[in-house]
Amino acid sequence: MVEMKSEPYTITFGIIGAGRIGKLHADNLLSHVKGAKLKTVTDPFLDEEWAASRNIPVTGKDHRIMLDDPEIDAILIGSPSPEHAAQMIECARAGKHIFCEKPIALDPDIIRNALAEVEKSGVKLQVGFNRRFDPNFAAVQEQIASGALGEPHIIRITSRDPAPPPAEYVASSGGLFMDMTIHDFDMARFLCGSEVTEVHAYGAVLVDPEIGKAGDIDTAVISLKFANGALGIIENSRKAVYGYDQRVEVFGAKGTAMADNNTPTSMVVLNESGTIRDKPLYFFLERYKIAFVAEMQAFVDAVRNDEPTKVSGKDGLVPVLIALAAQESLKTGKPIKVDSL
């Protein structure tokens, strides 16, 4: 955890969008994150009861009330994805630091345009790739970043959801690579410390035929080449009956580092059936609970200490490009270079 420097000020937040993820961030800002306070929450369909229980000073339907509020230092964009880019531009122009949930947009040009505005304004931007702040994955990355494992040779990511989303969601989500694997593309870059240059993808519909009818896949294996020479593998499934399966491994010249799933308890039972432990934590709210706090703390610290954020605008763009390359590979049956896009 970043230590706070001398005399940093307290960052006053506004939150755009108080759905599940917006509420989670609000609660974290209210109690777990140091150096931050929450002033305003807006949502066209605001849960008034929730807002009252949290003593949030200002609430409303329209996020523009916080753009002109000089007390607001930073805005968290937790609205539906299609609104992210436009709101990011508004926030940047209003001089508010920005924490934006992923994805900024599905179209790289829209992202590039928004990032240009952010850059022009000089505000800080952090994108919500929360998994980088998971203690397990962060520890693995540190093994590589510190040189303890030597040069990375193979990056391996296992990423399986506990249950597929509804078919109607699949259609609007941008598909498996854009909706689910995008986190793994970010993780691959983060762990390897190098850019993905080429992608080859195999996909299949093995979980739910409705997903296939909606034009998407539910199972995939994706091979990666990195600029530093390392190779990578990601494998995805929309349905692991035993829960959320989130593991990574970085194999390097001096050893290998693996992060396993977390479980609710450490209990081991031995009986006539075998040796039995818990299943992994069910889904991302449980698994990444600490990561959600840590990413917000990191953002607050970056703003207070005027340092670069840990997940930059570029980090918000590049995984989208990799996802597009993976989609193209699936369509053409050929490996695709990422910079060809």
Residues 319-338 that bind a second copy (CB under 8 A): 333-335
Please choose, out of 90-98, 100-108, 272-280, 293-301, the segment that lies near a second copy by the rule CB under 8 A.
272-280
Residue 325 CB, nearest approach to a second copy (Å)? 14
Is residue 143 a contact residue for a second copy (CB under 8 A)?
Answer: yes
With respect to a second copy, which residue has the nearer C-beta, 58 or 206? 206
SS3 state of residue 133: helix
With respect to a second copy, which residue has the nearer C-beta, 165 or 335? 335
Nearest alpha-carbon partner for 124 in 262, 261, 240, 11: 11
Kindly write out the interface string for residues 184-213 of this chain, putting x where it contacts a second copy by CB under 8 A and - elsewhere. Answer: ----------------x-xxx-xx------
* CA 340 vs CA 41, 184, 314: distances in Å: 41, 21, 17
Residues 6+ apart with CB under 8 A from 66: 14, 16, 39, 40, 42, 58, 72, 75, 96
Q: Which helix (H) or strand (E) holds 174?
A: none
Residue 263 CB, nearest approach to a second copy (Å)? 7
Residues 6+ apart with CB under 8 A from 82: 105
Nearest alpha-carbon partner for 281 in 134, 103, 101: 134
Q: Which of residues 77-116 bind a second copy (CB under 8 A)?
A: none
**Quick one: 269 exposed, middle or buried, by C-beta within 10 A (0-12, 13-18, 19+)?**
exposed
Is residue 233 a contact residue for a second copy (CB under 8 A)?
Answer: yes
Residue 193 CB, nearest approach to a second copy (Å)? 15
2, 4, 86, 231: which one binds a second copy (CB under 8 A)? 231
CB of 158 closer than 8 Å to CB of 264: no
With respect to a second copy, which residue has the nearer C-beta, 6 or 266? 266
4, 8, 27, 210: which one binds a second copy (CB under 8 A)? 27
Cα(131)–Cα(128) distance, integer angstroms: 9
Please choose, out of 41-49, 131-139, 177-185, 311-319, the segment that lies near a second copy by the rule CB under 8 A.
131-139
Cis, bond preceding 103 (omega within 30 deg of 0): yes
Is residue 289 a contact residue for a second copy (CB under 8 A)?
Answer: no
Is residue 280 a contact residue for a second copy (CB under 8 A)?
Answer: yes
